[in-house]
Structure 1
């Protein structure tokens, strides 16, 4: 517009032509982008639970519900508010429908929020742009990669103190303790006197003293393992956990340092332990928090000097019939208990199978 004004004031026809062309281009861009097509857009994530490195896809359904042809646009699907995955959507005739699938990142374990899906439109010259949010947010759980653990030793036996609130056997007759109510607990196990005192729902917890009990103690202290080694340790812990559950053991997952970012309760079809392993992070804590209660077998997943600390191992031995140490820093020092030393989850599980599979 300035060029038009200068051209008129000074009598320069060239400036007048250039300015008029620029003004026309700007008006055209605003008209093209300003008209809102009638779209119907939905997005699905499937599967919504995968192991690290497995394939997870977003699937966008794009439908033209208007009477005119919609332009080709690019949509961007946000991943946990950071990475934006571009999705090219073609032009559609009235009533037309198209589907587009695209890979979602699964290289790191964790819970990812997929969305919202944002459609951005701009004119060919890039003079005007418009965005519209078209789809809701969904969840994608990336579990630690699970390796084939053949067997988990059950120790010499099990005791009444072995189980925890996360994995106790429902329906057995031995009362263990009271704990807070979580979704899925049976109403008949509510303890009303304790509920009144605590101001929140409390339930009675029961355990079966005849089932083998396995405690997996994951060292999530920052001083024990490097970030990369910690990821390998999480995969070992998850793999042993799955094998113990499949063997019908009472399984307890414990951490050496409190993790304030862990889940408060089970959500959709994931159990609480797998959620914790999805979300667990390293913490600044100097000492090992030894789990209370006994177990048939206790698996200590740590690294370096922390894995072979005599005081820690002495305390753990008093908590279980059998203690197995998995050292992901591969210090190479045998601490007087069954011992696995490796620098990767693959190698650690291979040594585990050789050690306990005999």
Structure 2
């Protein structure tokens, strides 16, 4: 019984300790919430410049009261008038509602995107005039919002041209009511941000002729052969055919030798990687060419229903369709921390692929490319595309890999066609 009482006392002590800890946590949360609200109220309506002018105004009035200098009085009156005017200009009903809509969320470089902005007054009392700020990437579109009556709205159309490949955030819309001096303001964040995907340029390619034949888990390639795993049909015997492929039952019925035909199956797991290290590219245009080559290879692989792994810097994904893949290509950016050996990322994402494609810059040393290709699995096809802006297209075959040089995106179909 003594042990039972001790256990009970220990449990009570632990319960008291847990309650005390909970109370401390609650007090800490309340203090943190109070500090957040205080910071909000001190920063939401009065800018840092406004607080500076207010502190200077108080100091000027104190100095005038102590020393009686009329210069201090004049400066204090000016500061007070500025603060009063800023307060009056920042007052007013700003209970707006807003909606953003874009004409297209997926475009290519050179396309125009229209943004529709609808600002309305959902209340029954009129709103004050205000200013609207719509961020579109690094650019800000600013326009005025007049006084709106009950349930009135203002429609604004903004358009921009997609200049470069990117994931461009549009919004959220900021409504500002304040003074032109920047002392006081009232800001509202309305509507959600919309991402516009500016896809890279791509070219259509013919079929990627790469894979391991006679793979039990492979996909039919459409090529008819005399020896494989996927049965296709029968044909008449021709001199030189392997008699092991004779279908004797059909031969007996037809009273002539019939040979089995098969559809070649290939394992088509494909891995494509893009070199994003800035040191390998002499210009931004050369980097964009490499991204377009990378995107063209990936689009063709997905059109052929190949399992695809995509690697570009820190971005390592397995896109399910062409649109998802192009959205991911829009987010590719130069990265000084990119792994120099692209094979490591490719092998980590898909170690048993039958086709590895690497897109590199013109400054990538050939010896470094050869060392990368030697680390790939035996039997896998390796293609290295060197995007060198303005260079003459070329195709060189090495024991470990095939090196293709393209000087423009239009060179890629011809180079890929020559790989058959």
Q: Do residues 335 (structure 1) and 396 (structure 2) align?
A: yes
> For the residues of structure 2 that align with 1:309 and 1:11, how far apart are their CA atoms?
78
> For the residues of structure 1 that align with 2:218 and 2:201, how far apart are their CA atoms?
23
In structure 1, the residue matched to 2:39 is: none
Would you say the 8 A contact 1:59–1:102 is kept in 2? yes
Task: Report Cα offsets for 1:301-341 as digits up to 9, x if no partner.
Answer: 22442488445445669444x55432114598853266532
Q: Do residues 32 (structure 1) and 89 (structure 2) align?
A: yes
Give 1:42 deviation, angstroms.
Answer: 2.0
Mapping of residues 60-209 of structure 1, within 5 Å: 60-66=117-123, 67-68=125-126, 70-77=128-135, 79=137, 83=138, 85-94=140-149, 95-103=151-159, 106-143=162-199, 145-155=200-210, 158=213, 160=215
Task: Report Cα offsets for 1:189-231 as digits up to 9, x if no partner.
Answer: xxxxxxxxxxxxxxxxxxx984673635324363882273343
Equivalent of 1:278 in 326, 330, 340: 330
Equivalent of 1:237 in 294, 300, 308: 294
Equivalent of 1:44 in 92, 97, 101: 101
> For the residues of structure 1 that align with 2:75 and 2:383, how far apart are their CA atoms?
80
The Cα RMSD (Å) is 4.5
Give 1:5 deviation, angstroms.
Answer: 9.3
> For the residues of structure 2 that align with 1:113 and 1:163, how far apart are their CA atoms?
41
Would you say the 8 A contact 1:4–1:16 is kept in 2? no
Would you say the 8 A contact 1:53–1:107 is kept in 2? yes
SS at the partner of 2:397? Answer: coil
> For the residues of structure 2 that align with 1:32 and 1:215, how far apart are their CA atoms?
62
Q: Which has the higher contact order (CA 8 A, sep 6+)?
A: 1
Gaps in structure 2 of 5+ consecutive residues: 1-56, 220-229, 231-262
- Judged with a 3 Å threshold, the aligned counterparts in structure 2 of structure 1 residues 124 and 276 are, in CA distance, closer, same or farther, namely closer
Q: Do residues 220 (structure 1) and 303 (structure 2) align?
A: no
- Judged with a 3 Å threshold, the aligned counterparts in structure 2 of structure 1 residues 315 and 35 are, in CA distance, closer, same or farther, namely same
> For the residues of structure 2 that align with 1:163 and 1:105, how far apart are their CA atoms?
44
SS at the partner of 1:285? Answer: coil
In structure 2, the residue matched to 1:301 is: 359
> For the residues of structure 2 that align with 1:339 and 1:264, how far apart are their CA atoms?
25
Would you say the 8 A contact 1:64–1:92 is kept in 2? no
Gaps in structure 1 of 5+ consecutive residues: 165-173, 175-207
SS at the partner of 1:154? Answer: coil
Equivalent of 1:326 in 357, 363, 385: 385
Give 1:260 deviation, angstroms.
Answer: 3.9
In structure 1, the residue matched to 2:38 is: none
Structure having the larger proportion of residues in helix: 2
Instruction: Tell me the matched-pair count.
Output: 300
Would you say the 8 A contact 2:352–2:377 is kept in 1? no
Would you say the 8 A contact 2:269–2:353 is kept in 1? no
Task: Report Cα offsets for 1:97-124 as digits up to 9, x if no partner.
Answer: 2222334685454445443322222224
Give 1:88 deviation, angstroms.
Answer: 0.6
> For the residues of structure 2 that align with 1:219 and 1:113, how far apart are their CA atoms?
24
Would you say the 8 A contact 1:161–1:293 is kept in 2? no
